[in-house]
Chains A and B, each alone.
Chain A
Amino acid sequence: MYRSAKPVQRTLADLAKSLGARLIGDGAFVVDGVAHPMAAESESILALAMDDGSLAALPGTKARTVAVAADADIDIGGFAGGLVVERPRYALANLLDIFARPPRAFEGTHASAVVEESARLASDVSVGAHVYVGPHAEIGRGTVLMPNVTVGAGARIGGNCLLHPGAKVGERVVLGDNVILQSNATIGADGFSYVTPDVGSVEAAKRTGKVTAQNFEIVRINSVGTVILGDGVEVGANTAIDRATLGVTRIGRGTKIDNLVQIAHNCTIGENCFIAGSVGIAGSVEIGDRVVLAGGVGIADHVTIGDDAIIMARSGLGSDVPAKGIFAGYPAVSRETKMAEVLNLRRLPRLVRDYISLKKRLSDLEKKIG
């Protein structure tokens, strides 16, 4: 049996209170969903018109209530009621929390799941088809394991977590409460840790600037550490967070990680960070709290990034970034330096033209004088 999402109905007045929005019109009007104005299938849907595009679509809507931004130039007198919001995206987050559509979770433990005898699961944990839960694993109240999730031996998963199909939690990994792993997120794979018995090519190149050694043999360094994800961490689809060599790869509370991100062994990432898609973070990087890494950023090993820094898309970081720094480019420099570099690069053709012109004028002058 699968859990169904219970239908949600709220009055406009309730919604106004929850959102801190200004109510217009009939506060008793009952709303049972939200949608783009053109996608509203009934009068009881709240049409979301909090940007110019959806505002323009309002005339054709079936909805009788509407949410608009405070600075919208519109008369919503023709509707039964409306909500006027100050911060549209924040209002959207609240509305989609109220009218959430959680995944269809299995009630209880599916017959095809394998839960080892010594695992300890809270009574209301949902265990979907083909899930594996290893020996001595612990799973807290309200957690949902969608089909094909694996939880390794000794792993601990907190309460109200949601692990989407195919998510993998390695042995001894720890997840706090309210953690979400999207499909095929892999937490606790071995770190990319190897050594050459003798000095290798990279070691030699760093010392001498030349390739004077070769990697004829690669020896693995086992990863015996773990990963800890704090409360409220979210990890995107196909993202990998590797276990530490000896200690802990740690992701702080509230941090959100997008799809296809690689976080290497021994990293420590602070609280409430945004890490966008395709970011690659090498080993032993330390990232502070509230840092933003835009898409495609690459960070070399042992770099430190201070609190509240912002790293712009596709930057390559080989050295530390101070707190509140805004860095861009490869190699990444402060944004002001990068903008000046870009502007001067753009000027080069004209500078060359002017240089040639000046050279000719100088030559002509010298001939006149000479």
Chain B
Amino acid sequence: MTDVQAKVFDIVAKEARLDRSQLSLDDKLEDLNIESLDMVQILFGIEDEFDVYVPQEDDSFRLDSLGDVVNGVKQLIADKETQSANAS
């Protein structure tokens, strides 16, 4: 399990009060029955942990499954690192 995946799973398990050991990349978010306010807390947690901004109205940033969330975060980190490299 990658570091990003581990941290995303930690955040989801904590904020949605789920069993961390039962989470998998294939889990659909709607099947996990995560309440909307918990989803907001998960977004907070991801933005704070990885120092990224999760786009709110970007259709290309899908959040259907935990795998989507992990891949999305990895992309945001990569974009941030590219921007930093271009600036220096």
Contact = CB atoms under 8 A, between A and B. Distances in A.
Contact of B36 (A339, A343, A350, A361): A339
A339 B54 CA distance: 13
A343 B40 contact: yes
Interface string B1-44: 00000000000000000000000000000000000100010011
B47 interface: yes
A335 B36 contact: yes
B51 A342 contact: no
Contacts of A335: 36
A340 B43 CA distance: 11
The prevalent SS among residues of A at the interface is helix
A343 B44 contact: yes
Given A335-B36, A361-B87, A343 B56 contact: yes
Contact of A342 (B40, B47, B87): B40
Contacts of B43: 343
Contacts, number: 16
Given A335-B36, A350-B51, A361-B87, A340 B56 contact: yes
B40 A339 contact: yes
A327 to B, nearest CB: 13
A175 to B, nearest CB: 37
Main secondary structure, interface of B, reads: helix
A346 B51 contact: no
Interface residues of B, number: 9
A347 B47 contact: yes
Interface string A330-354: 0000010001101100110010000
B15 to A, nearest CB: 13
Interface residues of A, number: 9
Interface in A314-370: 335, 339-340, 342-343, 346-347, 350, 361
Contacts of A339: 36, 40
B19 to A, nearest CB: 11
A104 B63 CA distance: 55
Contacts of A342: 40
Contacts of A347: 47, 53
Given A340-B56, A361-B87, A346 B44 contact: yes
Interface of B: 36, 40, 43-44, 47, 51, 53, 56, 87
16 contacts: A335-B36, A339-B36, A339-B40, A340-B56, A342-B40, A343-B40, A343-B43, A343-B44, A343-B56, A346-B44, A346-B47, A347-B47, A347-B53, A350-B47, A350-B51, A361-B87
